[in-house]
Chain A
Amino acid sequence: MHWNTGYQSEALPLVKRFVEQFRGAETAVVPSSSCVAMMRDHYPKMAAEIGDAALIAEVSQLLPRVFEFSEFLTKRLGLEDVGAYYPHRVTYHASCHGLRNLGLGDGPVRLLKAVRGIDLVELDGLEQCCGFGGTFAVKNADVSSAMLEEKISTVLGTGAEVCTACDNSCLMHIQGALHRQKTGVKTLHLAEILAADEGAGL
């Protein structure tokens, strides 16, 4: 958020903080594609900006161990069927950073397809941004809302009960309008659906 809004000097210490927190981890799994995109696209540059050789080295060692959640399952573990059961109509929103920066491709969809009982409906305009964009949603509220409105109408067009994604910020945004318009459609992170089994009342 700091980096993308232009607050570079406020963002830099956060890189150090991240390395301190996660340097001991075998793998860091992140439930948000935009966070992973931020780390992969900018952390090396930010570490270089700080000019600390040890930090640069640590960042480059740590980054290959950082995975976005669906990527961890499909690419690192080679999984598709995680044994979930979710008998509902679901549509998947491909967040921009997952789609373009991380190249998640059809990984999340393959995971969803393997869920038992699921009725997965493809979203029209899958590659279209939902209009969140961090502080963009506030600074350019009108344009952001108009973009969101389009996303909502395609979600409603699928007749899905649930809209899922790999990015909580998009979901928070989409959910905000789904709730405001009293659509009854809810949003769930992909992990929540993959964690569902017969006993879960999601």
Chain B
Amino acid sequence: MSGSALDPKTAPVFPMAARAAMKDGQLRRNVRHATDMIQAKRARVVAEMPDWQELREAGKQIRQHTMENLDFYLEEFEANCTRAGGVVHWARDAAEAQQIIVGLVKASRSDEVIKIKSMTTEEIQLNSALEAAGIHPYETDLAELIIQLGHDQPSHIVVPALHKNRQQIREIFRREMNLPKLGERPEDLADAARIFLREKFLRVKTGVSGANFLIAETGGVCIVESEGNGRMCLTLPETLITVAGIDKVVPRFADLEVLFQLLPRSATGERMNPYNSIWTGVNASDGPRAFHVVLMDNARTEILADAEGRQTLNCIRCGACQNACPVYRQTGGHAYGSVYAGPIGAILTPQLQEMHHAQSLPYASSLCGACYEVCPVKINIPEVLIHLRNKVVKQNGPLNIEALAMKTMGMIFLSEQRFRAAQRMGRMAEAPLVRRDEKGAGWIGWLPGMLGGWTKARDLQEMPQETFRDWWEKRGTHGS
């Protein structure tokens, strides 16, 4: 996979990208292995919670309530964060957020930054914007570091390098860190990363982070992580800049009680994250001297305005839906053409693009419901997918083959007479395509046009000579 950013505006449609991705056997094995492992861990720690379903409901209520009162909680956060010594900035879109952050980094007199893993910065392609301004960003999360050094793109929102295995990671480190003798034990790789990063932690004066949660009641910002690199970025630099979507706010400190149970279990199958950091403004005796929060909209208000799409914003970015999704598990993340892959990506990306791009994503699902089942805040992803399909159909208008076929079938289903006539016509139309097998049964092995997708790997049995209706009527309605 190339290093060019995952951009929904230029990405190929999902079926094409998926076909290409599925040719990479190594990628598929890596994705399968990693998602299997995380799913098994998640299942174990979820099973030990007797009140898991109640917790999910509580999580959903918290998020829903927040979205319904988002304006209030955002202003509350701004007031409390400011009171604690933070500076709050508002960004309408990705370009504005980039501009503000670049300006803040320059004002901190630094030409490099250390970064905590953040999907929001990936969403706005912050690294390219920083580089274009002559600022060097260093990713400090192990997986993000692998992505950055490998000139790659994240394929999962929690485990961005999930598509790489250990041997591939060793190769990247050997090449990019100039360590020809590097071993391949997990310790070897971790040591190499540690040595590489420690020097950056001690040198670089400006840090950039995302946020898991913004706490309105206190003005605090919260990050949960596994490696401790985040804690370093939050404490060592003199200037800390946090960028967060406006959807990240939660009303009260106490809400974390619910979210801290749901998130780690769903994300990595851990009971608790090893590092849970909450910082509120600046403190004269410790930590960064200057603290900025960039609150970014980037189409979120648009999503909020749509009553049926709104629940998308409840997402706490745990990635459980990605691990559970049979489509994601076949293709990996890059095929979704966005840093948000899998089921959450299929609903979030088109909406972030205000339905102008990524229209193939709502169809990248068999609607099996595995995502909804695992979602810790009960986002009904299949329902949102169908809602977005509706929008796509409206955009495409009535004059295309699929719309006409749907219209015709709709008419047929509405009348028994037409339905029976269609069955007779269907039998006539299929006749030239039907081949008999050794048992005399009729099968279709080739279909034209769009329907050819079916017959690539599947046969289709011919329509039965006697329909259920025929059989039922012959049999009489009152027993045989």
Chain A residues within 8 Å of B, Cβ to Cβ: 1-8, 10-11, 13-14, 17, 96-97, 100-101, 127-129, 131-149, 172-173, 175-177, 179-180
Whether the Cβ atoms of A143 and B367 lie closer than 8 Å is no
Q: Is B15 an interface residue (CB 8 A)?
A: yes
| Measured CA separation A61–B394 after assembly (Å) | 32
Tally of B interface residues using CB under 8 Å: 49
| A3: chain B residues within 8 A (beta carbon) | 386
Given contacts A4-B367, A147-B326, A179-B459, 6 further A-B contacts (CB under 8 A): A96-B366, A100-B372, A129-B366, A134-B366, A146-B22, A177-B459
Q: Is B451 an interface residue (CB 8 A)?
A: yes
15 cross-chain CB contacts under 8 A = A1-B409, A6-B389, A7-B390, A13-B414, A96-B367, A100-B372, A138-B451, A138-B454, A139-B453, A140-B15, A140-B453, A141-B454, A141-B456, A176-B460, A180-B457
Whether the Cβ atoms of A4 and B389 lie closer than 8 Å is yes
| Chain B 33-61 interface mask (CB, 8 Å, partner A; 1/0) | 00000000000000000000000000000
Q: Is B392 an interface residue (CB 8 A)?
A: yes
| B414: chain A residues within 8 A (beta carbon) | 13-14, 17
With beta carbons under 8 angstroms apart, the residue of B363, B407, B457, B461 that contacts A140 is B363
Tally the A-B contacts, defined by beta carbons under 8 Å: 145
Q: Interface residues of A: mostly helix, strand, loop or mixed?
A: helix
Given contacts A140-B363, A143-B18, A148-B458, contact A2 B410 (CB under 8 A): yes
Given contacts A139-B453, A140-B18, contact A179 B366 (CB under 8 A): no
Whether the Cβ atoms of A2 and B406 lie closer than 8 Å is yes
Given contacts A14-B414, A138-B453, contact A146 B330 (CB under 8 A): yes
With beta carbons under 8 angstroms apart, the residue of A10, A146, A173 that contacts B458 is A173
Whether the Cβ atoms of B389 and A100 lie closer than 8 Å is no
Q: Is B373 an interface residue (CB 8 A)?
A: yes
| A97: chain B residues within 8 A (beta carbon) | 369
Whether the Cβ atoms of B413 and A129 lie closer than 8 Å is no
| B428: chain A residues within 8 A (beta carbon) | none
Whether the Cβ atoms of B15 and A139 lie closer than 8 Å is yes
Cβ of B439 to closest chain A Cβ, rounded Å: 10
Cβ of B329 to closest chain A Cβ, rounded Å: 9
| Chain B 406-426 interface mask (CB, 8 Å, partner A; 1/0) | 110110011000000000000
Please indicate which of the listed interface residues B326, B389, B437, B456 has the most CB atoms of chain A within 10 Å of its own CB. B326
| B95: chain A residues within 8 A (beta carbon) | none
Cβ of B454 to closest chain A Cβ, rounded Å: 6
Whether the Cβ atoms of B460 and A177 lie closer than 8 Å is no
Cβ of A141 to closest chain B Cβ, rounded Å: 3
| Measured CA separation A7–B15 after assembly (Å) | 20
Q: Is B209 an interface residue (CB 8 A)?
A: no
**Nearest 7 CB-CB pairs, A to B?**
A133-B366, A176-B458, A6-B389, A141-B453, A129-B368, A145-B457, A6-B393
With beta carbons under 8 angstroms apart, the residue of B14, B390, B457 that contacts A177 is B457
With beta carbons under 8 angstroms apart, the residue of B15, B406, B454 that contacts A10 is B406
| B390: chain A residues within 8 A (beta carbon) | 6-8
Which A-chain residue is minimally distant from B325 (CB atoms)?
A: A129
| B410: chain A residues within 8 A (beta carbon) | 2, 7, 10-11, 13-14
| B364: chain A residues within 8 A (beta carbon) | 140, 143
| Measured CA separation A138–B456 after assembly (Å) | 10
Whether the Cβ atoms of A149 and B386 lie closer than 8 Å is no
Q: Is B445 an interface residue (CB 8 A)?
A: yes
| Measured CA separation A8–B407 after assembly (Å) | 11
Q: Is B450 an interface residue (CB 8 A)?
A: yes
Given contacts A96-B369, A100-B369, A147-B326, contact A6 B392 (CB under 8 A): yes
Whether the Cβ atoms of A176 and B454 lie closer than 8 Å is yes
Q: Is B365 an interface residue (CB 8 A)?
A: yes
Cβ of A121 to closest chain B Cβ, rounded Å: 22
Q: Is B232 an interface residue (CB 8 A)?
A: no
Cβ of A155 to closest chain B Cβ, rounded Å: 14
| Measured CA separation A21–B464 after assembly (Å) | 23
Q: Is B202 an interface residue (CB 8 A)?
A: no
| Measured CA separation A194–B249 after assembly (Å) | 54
With beta carbons under 8 angstroms apart, the residue of A96, A129, A172 that contacts B461 is A172
Q: Is B129 an interface residue (CB 8 A)?
A: no
Q: Is B331 an interface residue (CB 8 A)?
A: yes
Given contacts A13-B410, A140-B327, contact A133 B453 (CB under 8 A): no
| Measured CA separation A46–B365 after assembly (Å) | 22
Which B-chain residue is minimally distant from A42 (CB atoms)?
A: B386
| A131: chain B residues within 8 A (beta carbon) | 326, 366
Which B-chain residue is minimally distant from A11 (CB atoms)?
A: B410
With beta carbons under 8 angstroms apart, the residue of A4, A127, A180 that contacts B386 is A4
| Chain B 439-455 interface mask (CB, 8 Å, partner A; 1/0) | 00001010000111110
Q: Is B19 an interface residue (CB 8 A)?
A: yes
| Measured CA separation A141–B449 after assembly (Å) | 13
Whether the Cβ atoms of A148 and B457 lie closer than 8 Å is yes
Whether the Cβ atoms of A136 and B22 lie closer than 8 Å is no
| Measured CA separation A180–B437 after assembly (Å) | 11
| Measured CA separation A147–B456 after assembly (Å) | 14
- Tell me the chain B residues, 327-382 only, with Cβ under 8 Å from chain A: 327, 330-331, 362-370, 372-373
With beta carbons under 8 angstroms apart, the residue of B18, B365, B372 that contacts A133 is B365
